[in-house]
Chains A and B, each alone.
Chain A
Amino acid sequence: MSGRVQGPVLILGATSDMARAIARDFAARGCDIQLAAREPERLEADRADLVTRYGVGVTLHAVDALDVDSHAGFVAGLPALPRVAVSAIGLMGEQAENAADMTRAATILRANFEGPASLMGVLANAMEARGSGTLVGISSVAGERGRASNYVYGSAKAGFTAYLSGLRNRLAKKGVHVVTVLPGFVATRMTEGMDLPARLVAQPEEVGAAVLAAVEKGRDVIYVRPVWRLIMAIIRALPERVFKKTSI
Chain B
Amino acid sequence: MTRLAGWGRFRPVEARVARMRSEADVAVALAAGGPVIARGNGRAYGDSAVSPGVTLDMRGMDRMLAFDPATGVLVAEAGVLLSEIIACLLPRGWFPSVTPGTRYVTLGGAIAADVHGKNHHVDGGFGAFVDWVEVMGPDGRVTRAEAGSDLFSWTVGGMGLTGVILRAAIRLRRVETGWICQETRATAGLDEAIDVFEGAMDAPYSVAWIDCVTEGPHLGRSLVMLGRHAGVGDLPAARRRDPFGVPRKRRLTVPLDLPGLALNRWTVGAFNAAYYRLGARKPGPALVPWDSYFYPLDAIGDWNRIYGRRGFVQFQCVLPEDSARRGLHRLVEVIAASGQGSFLSVLKRFGPQDSRFAFPRAGYTLALDFPAHDGSLDLMQTLDRITLEHGGRFYLAKDARMPRAVLEAADDRVAAFRAMRAATGAAGRFVSLQSERLGL
Contacts and interface: CB of A to CB of B under 8 A. Distances in A.
Contacts of A17: 21, 60
A49 B76 CA distance: 8
Contacts of B18: 192
B77 interface: yes
B19 A53 contact: no
A174 to B, nearest CB: 38
A53 B64 contact: yes
Interface in A39-71: 42, 45-46, 48-49, 52-54
A49 B22 CA distance: 13
B67 interface: yes
Contacts of B65: 45, 48-49, 52
A19 B74 CA distance: 24
A30 to B, nearest CB: 13
A48 B66 contact: yes
Contacts of A199: none
A42 B65 CA distance: 14
A173 interface: no
A48 B64 contact: yes
Contacts of A245: none
Contacts of B60: 17
Nearest to A42: B22
Nearest to B60: A17
Interface in A58-113: none
B19 A46 contact: no
Interface in A180-232: 189, 192
Contacts of A52: 64-67, 74, 88
Contacts, number: 29
Interface string B63-102: 1111100000010010000001000100000000000000
A45 B88 contact: no
Given A52-B88, A53-B88, A46 B63 contact: yes
A192 B84 CA distance: 24
Interface in A140-191: 189
Nearest to B80: A49
Contacts of A46: 63
Contacts of A49: 63-65
A203 B21 CA distance: 15
A216 to B, nearest CB: 20
Contact of A189 (B21, B64, B74, B77): B21
A42 B25 CA distance: 12
B63 to A, nearest CB: 4
A120 B253 CA distance: 41
A22 to B, nearest CB: 15
Contacts of B88: 52-54
A219 to B, nearest CB: 26
B191 to A, nearest CB: 48
A55 B142 CA distance: 29
A59 to B, nearest CB: 17
Interface of A: 17, 42, 45-46, 48-49, 52-54, 189, 192
24 contacts: A17-B21, A17-B60, A42-B22, A45-B63, A45-B65, A45-B77, A46-B63, A48-B63, A48-B65, A48-B66, A49-B63, A49-B64, A49-B65, A52-B65, A52-B66, A52-B67, A52-B74, A53-B64, A53-B84, A53-B88, A189-B19, A189-B21, A192-B18, A192-B19
Interface of B: 18-19, 21-22, 60, 63-67, 74, 77, 84, 88
Q: Nearest 9 A-B pairs (CB), nearest first?
A: A49-B63, A52-B64, A48-B65, A45-B63, A53-B88, A52-B67, A49-B64, A53-B64, A52-B66
